[in-house]
Structure 1
Amino acid sequence: MDWNQVTQGLLSALGIGLLIGAVRERQHGNGRPLQAGVRTHALLALMGTVAMLLGPPAFLVALLAAAALAWTSYRATSADDPGLTGEITMLTTVLLGGLALQQRALAAALGVVVAILLWAKAPLARFSRELISDQEMRDALLLAACALVVLPMLPVTAVDPWAVLVPYKLWQIVVLVMGTGMLGHVGLRAVGARWGLPVAGFLSGFASSTASVAGFGRSSRASPMLVAPSASAALLANLASLLLFAAILGTTSPALLQASAWPLLTAALVLLGFAALGLRHVPDESVPETSTAKAFQLQHALMIAVAIAAVLLLSEGLRRVFGQAGALVGATVAGLAELHAAAASIASLTASGGLELGKARWGVIALLASASLAKSVLAFLSGGARYGGIVSAGLGGMVIGAALVALGTG
């Protein structure tokens, strides 16, 4: 037996018990009866460690003894405090004490999580009872089911003869569209339209700017006053996507990134400028009550995934018809559905010598143009004429600016 490990386990268990017990003491400092405080929880944690040292049967006996104590505590305090948090905490302390002997870091981390949950009783109660509406709870549960139940069950291999349609990846698009809508909804509720939507937009762009354009387009229909900030959020999502686009080029072909640096920088500045224009006049009173609004629509997310699947099939068909010579055309068409995959394709061809650097540079511009065209159409379909006009103007300006700089720097 390693006595150093035993000593460290006992010290970890003692720290866990003292931390949890201190939080319980602070929460019951108003005179209400407290059956288990600092000393009790410290002793329970040590009991769990010692029992684990003696073996699983002894640990089971210790756990049953703690359960009996918890039951006695509940019967004594149930009239004034019918909750079970204190009793469950007693059992958890014993379990963490036993775990501290074998996995000290994990036990300590879980002890901190338990202490935080105990301390955050009032904020969590207010959050679940007052801040979240029934509709938002339903949306969150649906999103969790799609991401954590449906997604892991789908095949990760292609199901079509051309090996381009992967159900797992297509359902990821559905989850991303829904998640973008939820992120924008939460941001809007948290800090208002002026800052909530832009921050949510930029962050969601690293996942999928296409999903962001669709998600913010749908949310902009809820209020005409939110069209401009929603469009700015969509443009900021494309700015994040452009940064990821540049990173993929640099990873695959540093020479291509260096050759395209000034056009890409111009594109980023144009996007940032158009996004800032949409945020100039957004008074706080323009923010509507959104607690009863849907954060996303599942049908809308499914439609986006189906459209992307169709474009993937079309692009692969063109690539097979034109062969290697038409790889650039195929990649440009693929950019209608997945910009980053198309960027990796062009960069790989450039790195391997299959595509001249000058042509690849214009291929980068063509990718931005094809992706902007697809997203502009999507913006009109999802958010209407005004939203689509702002988004398409920003994306069009990005492409034109990048092309002009590419011409000027030859």
Structure 2
Amino acid sequence: MIESPGLTGAAAALGIGLLIGLERERHKGEGQSRACAGLRTFAITALLGYGAMQVAGGLLVAALAITLGGLVTVAYWRSLSDDPGVTSEVALLTVLVLGALCSSQPQLAVTMAVVMAGLLAYREKLHHFARSQLTDGEMRDALVLLTAALVVLPLAPDRYIGPYGAINLRTICTLTVLLMVVGAVGHVAVRALGTRYGYAISAIASGFASSTVTIAAMGHIAAREPVNVKLLSAAAIWSNLATFVQAGLILGAVDTGLLRPVFGPLVCGALATALYGLCLMFPKTATNASQPIKVGGAFNLKLALVVTLTVTGITFLSSVMLRYYGEAGVMVTATFTGFADAHASTASIASLAKSGQLPFDAIAVPVLIAISSNSLSKCAVAWVSGGSRFALYVIPGQVLLTLAMWAGIWLL
């Protein structure tokens, strides 16, 4: 079979023109106010860009773009109205460039065209979201997240520095961005689902920031609303799902090979958590709870920075303990630091393994120790914040998920 790369590129360019052209044709309008370009114009423009690139390269494409820009400017002024838009005109120029791009990277051009078509098709929903749904705080958080992910993270050097070679700036930045992304995803989930699923969804989302704090919050609510203690206890237990998921995400972000030793324990712990929470939910409990726990902004930047600094300190301490006391030193460090934050301990252990100071197969036990000690601190928090009745439901769940997690080590 004879391959025809030129024909493939032309077909991709035509497809792009037809895709964007169909969407624009539906919003072209009629009469004097109709837009200047529709299905045929977009299809021809895409083919024009591809042909120009094949004949004379980028110089001809640039000349055509200037000419096309002049034509659409004239059309724009002729159809000027009270609320003129330049979306179709900009889309037409973009289609010309995408048609030219099909000569060298048709897959990229088609991908960009699909994204562009989606932005055009969901114009009204995007406008409504930006104007009515998105708050100033969420917009600020989105800008911070994009800056961290697209500017700071790529510039961070990927090498180990400092005493004992324990600090990797790329790993630290990756974990910080991951904390912000996970918090933002949880926030979006709560905004999208509303309060229908109440405390459970809110607790899981808040658990990505801090499961211990979430359990404390649920305990305070249970003290005020004892009729909903089982419902709130289930939500508190389900916040542990975030702990297991985030531990897996942290390990995978550092190196996907780190997931293999702990995959079984994390899955078993998560399953036990989900099942115990469901048992508390049924039979049906009272549902007149006032409102779910507040998740706050899209993410907690202060918390992400604090965790990052904590990870750095624990990583350094673990490196020192590893150097002088071997793997037993790492386990002792994981035990004590896990009382405060299992995620920071997990990240530090992952960093040690990534730097070659700790074998990949040796991370399972210290990671499970960190999560277990954190589970113990959650039991104490449940008793103090919610009283004996709340703790009576939460503590058995914490014990069960911890035992299930350790039992999962046999699945390795």
What is the TM-score normalised by the length of structure 1? Answer: 0.73
| Distance change (3 Å), C-alpha of 1:302 and 1:140 | same
Report the Cα offset of residue 402 of structure 1: 5.7
Which sits farther off after the overlay, 316-325 or 64-73?
316-325
In the alignment, the residues of structure 1 paired with residue 88 and residue 332 of structure 2 have an alpha-carbon distance, to the nearest angstrom, of: 65
Q: 1:110 aligns with which of 109, 112, 120?
A: 112
Structure 1 counterpart SS, 2:372: helix
On the 8 A contact 1:239/1:272 being kept in 2, the answer is no
In the alignment, the residues of structure 1 paired with residue 76 and residue 235 of structure 2 have an alpha-carbon distance, to the nearest angstrom, of: 52
Report the Cα offset of residue 72 of structure 1: 0.9
Aligned to 2:25: 25
Answering whether residue 15 of structure 2 is matched by residue 12 of structure 1, we say no
Answering whether residue 307 of structure 2 is matched by residue 304 of structure 1, we say yes
Aligned to 2:173: 171
Structure 1 counterpart SS, 2:113: helix
Answering whether residue 211 of structure 2 is matched by residue 213 of structure 1, we say yes
Answering whether residue 46 of structure 2 is matched by residue 45 of structure 1, we say yes
Answering whether residue 273 of structure 2 is matched by residue 238 of structure 1, we say no
Q: Which amino acid aligns with 1:299?
A: K
In the alignment, the residues of structure 1 paired with residue 349 and residue 135 of structure 2 have an alpha-carbon distance, to the nearest angstrom, of: 41
On the 8 A contact 2:49/2:96 being kept in 1, the answer is yes
Aligned to 1:71: 73
In the alignment, the residues of structure 1 paired with residue 316 and residue 189 of structure 2 have an alpha-carbon distance, to the nearest angstrom, of: 35
**Mapping of residues 216-295 of structure 1, within 5 Å:** 231-240=236-245, 251=260, 267-276=269-278, 283=287, 286-287=290-291, 293-295=296-298
**Mapping of residues 249-398 of structure 1, within 5 Å:** 251=260, 267-276=269-278, 283=287, 286-287=290-291, 293-323=296-326, 329=332, 337-339=344-346, 342=349, 364=365, 367-374=367-374, 377=377, 385-386=385-386, 394-398=397-401
On the 8 A contact 2:209/2:303 being kept in 1, the answer is no
Q: Which amino acid aligns with 1:385?
A: S
Report the Cα offset of residue 38 of structure 1: 1.1
Report the Cα offset of residue 128 of structure 1: 1.0
In the alignment, the residues of structure 2 paired with residue 156 and residue 391 of structure 1 have an alpha-carbon distance, to the nearest angstrom, of: 42
On the 8 A contact 1:164/1:313 being kept in 2, the answer is yes
Encode CA deviations 1:378-409: one digit per residue, 9 max, x unaligned.
89899x93499687664333224566x69xxx
| Distance change (3 Å), C-alpha of 1:36 and 1:334 | same
Aligned to 2:137: 135
Q: Which amino acid aligns with 2:323?
A: R
Report the Cα offset of residue 20 of structure 1: 1.4
Q: Which amino acid aligns with 2:307?
A: I
Q: Which amino acid aligns with 2:45?
A: L
Which sits farther off after the overlay, 23-32 or 277-286?
277-286
Report the Cα offset of residue 277 of structure 1: 5.6
Structure 2 counterpart SS, 1:315: helix
Encode CA deviations 1:346-385: one digit per residue, 9 max, x unaligned.
xx8697xxx9xxxx9xx84x74243232366489899x93
In the alignment, the residues of structure 2 paired with residue 249 and residue 35 of structure 1 have an alpha-carbon distance, to the nearest angstrom, of: 56
**Mapping of residues 174-189 of structure 1, within 5 Å:** 174-189=176-191
On the 8 A contact 1:197/1:230 being kept in 2, the answer is yes
Any stretches of 5+ residues in structure 2 without a counterpart? Answer: 226-230
In the alignment, the residues of structure 2 paired with residue 3 and residue 296 of structure 1 have an alpha-carbon distance, to the nearest angstrom, of: 50
Report the Cα offset of residue 27 of structure 1: 1.2
On the 8 A contact 1:177/1:301 being kept in 2, the answer is yes
In the alignment, the residues of structure 1 paired with residue 54 and residue 162 of structure 2 have an alpha-carbon distance, to the nearest angstrom, of: 56
On the 8 A contact 1:48/1:94 being kept in 2, the answer is yes
Report the Cα offset of residue 191 of structure 1: 0.8
Q: Which amino acid aligns with 1:128?
A: A
Which sits farther off after the overlay, 327-336 or 128-137?
327-336
Any stretches of 5+ residues in structure 1 without a counterpart? Answer: none
- Compute the RMSD of aligned alpha carbons: 4.6
Q: Which amino acid aligns with 1:308?
A: V
Q: Which amino acid aligns with 1:113?
A: V
Report the Cα offset of residue 48 of structure 1: 1.4
On the 8 A contact 2:237/2:398 being kept in 1, the answer is no
| Distance change (3 Å), C-alpha of 1:218 and 1:170 | farther
In the alignment, the residues of structure 2 paired with residue 197 and residue 288 of structure 1 have an alpha-carbon distance, to the nearest angstrom, of: 5
In the alignment, the residues of structure 2 paired with residue 332 and residue 183 of structure 1 have an alpha-carbon distance, to the nearest angstrom, of: 30
What is the TM-score normalised by the length of structure 2? Answer: 0.73
In the alignment, the residues of structure 2 paired with residue 182 and residue 69 of structure 1 have an alpha-carbon distance, to the nearest angstrom, of: 43
Report the Cα offset of residue 316 of structure 1: 2.6
In the alignment, the residues of structure 1 paired with residue 132 and residue 53 of structure 2 have an alpha-carbon distance, to the nearest angstrom, of: 43
Structure 1 counterpart SS, 2:165: coil
Q: Which amino acid aligns with 1:44?
A: T
Report the Cα offset of residue 88 of structure 1: 0.4
Q: Which amino acid aligns with 1:16?
A: I
Aligned to 1:87: 89
In the alignment of these two chains, the number of paired residues is 380
Report the Cα offset of residue 236 of structure 1: 1.3
Instruction: Determine what percentage of the aligned residue pairs are the same residue.
Output: 30
On the 8 A contact 2:238/2:274 being kept in 1, the answer is no
Structure 2 counterpart SS, 1:162: helix
